[in-house]
Structure 1
């Protein structure tokens, strides 16, 4: 399999499947496309019909949506346990991933992922509402399903991979969190897989201008 991704400093969508695959120990080849290169769109359109990343290429199959990539990988590698084994927990895990995939627009628009620096922005009521919802979501998952381990559903799952970019945003913009939520952010950002991604991001030679 090949995972086609964008700049590691900025591409939150790319981080999700990369982190899940890497944390689960699933082998894949990586192709990074500089999203700011003049021919970037042409490069991406040569891989996927949407011209967006990430995309997973497995032989003749191309999967161009992050949720679909997650489902395909979970089906192909069930032993990786990227969805919780319990049916109820698995349904909730899928719901929280879908909520991340489709929601939190004020937060994502105001606080873009940027691993290269620390920033300050105005935390509007809409952004704060997103932060509050994420904190409540994390607390609910941990209370209901997280007793067997430190992650949202105990063991690492796609849910943790999907919220890792949010953890970076909270750090980048210095957003205050309750102690339990901050501990979860610290956990995600200390993962060896995330550390490897971050080191590669900071070593990228490309300009974003």
Structure 2
């Protein structure tokens, strides 16, 4: 059985993506959770990941690091291509959006790290984070307007592009980001997924605390 090595469910946005894809599509896998930013993590991660990062997938002797690479591998290995839209145009747009999420939005990532337990307060990011938020909502509007007529997700049915944006949904919820109607409906669709509910429940039960993330509070 494949093994997915992940970080804390409360904090590890990169880990959420392939975990969610595999769980949503019913792919059986074992899970190994390593606590981020601990001596134990740094002592153990080299045994599992050549990049010393999570997530990393082990399958029949093959080691696949990186969230998007794992999703692509899973799509070919177990999903028979269902991770991307069947339509060529939709597939191209979905891949472009996933790639933009994978490499961009640094202000949002830095200023609003994923913290599934977080409750909104007065803390907000700066204008660079807001520009990222605006761009993400623009992407969501464009994809859903063109490709989501038959479903609740960015290109209709749930796929890799949605898994890539799921941590953003967690950020928007935790930091109380103002959303347009389209984004609000999309957030509701993501949070209604059984796999997302499972992840959030596990995150809420984790005892670990990361000061650099949890200190982002403003009364």
* Same fold at TM > 0.5: yes
2:216 aligned partner: none
Aligned counterparts of 2:209 and 2:67: Cα–Cα separation in 1: 25
1:176 to 167, 175, 178: 178
Matches within 5 A, 1:1-209: 1-79=2-80, 81-119=82-120, 120-208=122-210
Task: Tell me, in whole angstroms, the C-alpha distance in 1 between the residues paired with 2:128 and 2:63.
Answer: 36
Over the aligned positions, Cα root-mean-square deviation in angstroms equals: 1.3
Q: Equivalents in 2 of 1:12, 1:132: separation in Å? A: 20
Distance (whole Å) between structure 2 residues aligned to residue 122 and residue 101 of structure 1:
22
Does the 8 Å contact 1:24/1:80 carry over to 2? no
CA contact (8 A) 2:124 2:175 kept: no
Distance across 2 between alignment mates of 1:186 and 1:84: 21
Q: Distance in 1 between matches of 2:46 and 2:134?
A: 37
Unaligned runs of 5+ in 1: none
Structure 2 gap ranges (5+): 212-219
Q: 1 CA distance for matches of 2:79 and 2:107?
A: 35
Q: Using the alignment, how far apart are the partners of 1:17 and 1:39 within structure 2?
A: 23
| C-alpha separation in 2, matches of 1:111 and 1:99 | 17
Cα distance in structure 2, aligned partners of 1:133 and 1:207: 31
Contact 1:24–1:82 (Cα < 8 Å) also in 2: no
Question: Does 114-123 or 178-187 show the bigger shift?
Answer: 114-123
Q: Distance in 2 between matches of 1:148 and 1:47?
A: 40
Q: CA 1:24–1:118 in 2, change beyond 3 Å: closer, same or farther?
A: same
User: With structure 1 as the length reference, what TM-score do the two structures score?
Assistant: 0.96
Task: Give, in angstroms, the shift of residue 202 of structure 1.
Answer: 1.1
Provide TM-score, normalisation by structure 2.
0.91
- After superposition, the C-alpha distances for 1:41-78 in whole angstroms (9 at most, x for unaligned) are 12111111111000010021100111111111111123
Q: How many residues align?
A: 209
